Amino acid sequence: MKRRTNRRRFLRNAGLAGAGLWVGARATTARGRSPNEKLNIGIIGSSGRGRANTKSVSSENIVALCDVDEKRMAEEAKKHPNAKKYIDWRKLVDQKDLDAVVVSTTDHTHAPACVWAMNRGLSVYCEKPLAHSPYEARVMQETYLKHKDKLATQMGTQIHATDNYRRLVELVQSGAIGPVREVHVWCGREGLKDGERPTDTPPVPEGLHWDLWLGPAPFRPYHPRYLPGCTTWEQWWDFGNGCLGDMGSHLIDLPFWALKLRDPLTIEAEGTPLRQETYPQWLVVHWEHPARGDMPPLTLHWYDGIQRPKLEVPGHDIASWHKGIVFVGDDGILLGDYGKKILVPEEKYKDFQAPEPWIDKSLGHHQEWIHAAKTGAPTLCNFDYSGKLVEHNLLGTVAFRVGKKLTWDPKAMKAPGVPEADRYIRPEYREGWTLDG
């Protein structure tokens, strides 16, 4: 641990020396990097989404690879022949020369891998969503805050780094549509039509370590319905939280950021009939938020599958949009998605002058994290912010699974009067697995 701290101090001091003037926590100029300034990064989950994340951090030293599927890891190992190979991430995080890890596993193993890494002094980049339960999200947030002076964190929501999202945030916060009391967010991805657990038990493919893939989840026999892509395993409650868990991290991120949201007051949800194994075919969730400073109380609505807001927006058929966000202000409406920002009514805003940008252009989502890990600069999607975002979102699945409107006590992490929610707020881990390592 001491050796890691000394190496991190070296990297940060080298970063400051190369950056020139340092103001607060930010470098004012880009920093040239020499080979010995590079981070030593371990990749936890090297296939699938992990392959793209690895490519995005390949400016650094990839010194370790981990994947429970040996065949898929072997493909990535060809690009990084000097990296040590693991099938169990619990062993990788103890590799002595590591500075940081990138976690791109299934949702139900994000939190334990990240918490173990942070507790060992490692900076962490984690794919969205950070966690599989509200409790895990809270532990992720608290662990980061405990170590934040020593490491950098980032949740993998690349859209957070785009200019369009930043300009949308500025429009809302500058008052372009007046006070916002209502937001609608949707994504057209549907859940599984058949949500029953498979009854046949085909053999586990050669090279796949199924027990490690399950990790802290309850044991079940292998079946190809669960693998390999996220649109399969994320639909099963034991491994993911469907569209809300996944795409909510991208889409609810925008109002969460623009409207400075944190803990909701209440959560209510409805969907197709509850299935014990899988996310519903569609889900609708409503969160009520208190006033924040000079921002009024707000209701945030989520829709997925075939559902859309029952909202008339002059000149726009939002029901035809696959995904989108609508901010309803006292003075106007703002429509947005990954690439759109439209003020309505458009006649009213035809001569509107957008505010001078104040949110700086991103270095690039992965590069922000790399830079922060070396220099101590901030990341906008760190685990304090993103941990609270994911906790908020996953409370929507808790409300749906218990079938009741929840009042949320964030300090106690309880839904008073609904004790049956506890098992979904903090699910038990399978024997042999722990969150805090």
Over the chain, what is the mean pLDDT?
Answer: 92
> Could you tell me the pLDDT band of residue 16, with boundaries at 50, 70 and 90?
very low
Output the CA–CA distances (angstroms, integers) from residue 92 to 84, 103, 136, 351, 362, in the order listed: 9, 12, 21, 57, 30
Query: Torsions phi, psi of 380, nearest 5?
Result: -75, -25
Q: Which two tokens stand for residue 128?
A: 């969205």
Strands 100-103 and 40-44: parallel
pLDDT at 8 over 60: no
Q: Give the pLDDT score at 350.
A: 94
Compute the distance between CA of residue 309 and CA of residue 114 in angstroms, rounded to an integer. 36
Element (H, E) at 81: none
Alpha-helical regions (H) of 174-310 = 210-214, 230-233, 242-251, 253-258
Domains belonging to the chain, first-starting first, are: 2-160+363-382 (3.40.50.720), 162-193+229-359+390-425 (3.30.360.10)
pLDDT digits (tens, 9 = 90+) for 252-291: 999 999 999 999 999 999 999 999 999 999 999 999 999 9
pLDDT digits (tens, 9 = 90+) for 291-348: 999 999 999 999 999 999 999 999 999 999 999 999 999 999 999 999 999 999 999 9
Q: Please compute, for residue 120, the number of CA atoms within 13 A of its CA located in the half-sphere on the CB side.
A: 22
pLDDT at 238 over 70: yes
pLDDT digits (tens, 9 = 90+) for 68-101: 999 999 999 999 999 999 999 999 999 999 999 9
Compute the distance between CA of residue 285 and CA of residue 408 in angstroms, rounded to an integer. 14
> Could you tell me the pLDDT band of residue 174, with boundaries at 50, 70 and 90?
very high
CB 337 within 8 A of CB 325: yes
Helix-then-strand count for the chain, H and E: 14, 16
Strand partners, 341: 336
Global pTM value: 0.92
Compute the distance between CA of residue 428 and CA of residue 437 in angstroms, rounded to an integer. 15
Q: Give the pLDDT score at 3.
A: 44
pLDDT at 27 over 90: no
Cα 267-425-244 angle, rounded to 5 deg: 55
Q: Give the pLDDT score at 228.
A: 76
pLDDT at 30 over 90: no
Q: Which two tokens stand for residue 437?
A: 């390592």
CB 299 within 8 A of CB 265: no
Q: What's the rounded mean pLDDT across residues 377-401?
A: 97
CB 56 within 8 A of CB 77: no
Q: How many CB atoms lie within 10 A of CB 249?
A: 25
Residue type, 199: T
Compute the distance between CA of residue 60 and CA of residue 38 in angstroms, rounded to an integer. 5
Q: Give the pLDDT score at 34.
A: 43
CB 93 within 8 A of CB 42: yes
Comparison of pLDDT for 380 and 228, the residue scoring more: 380
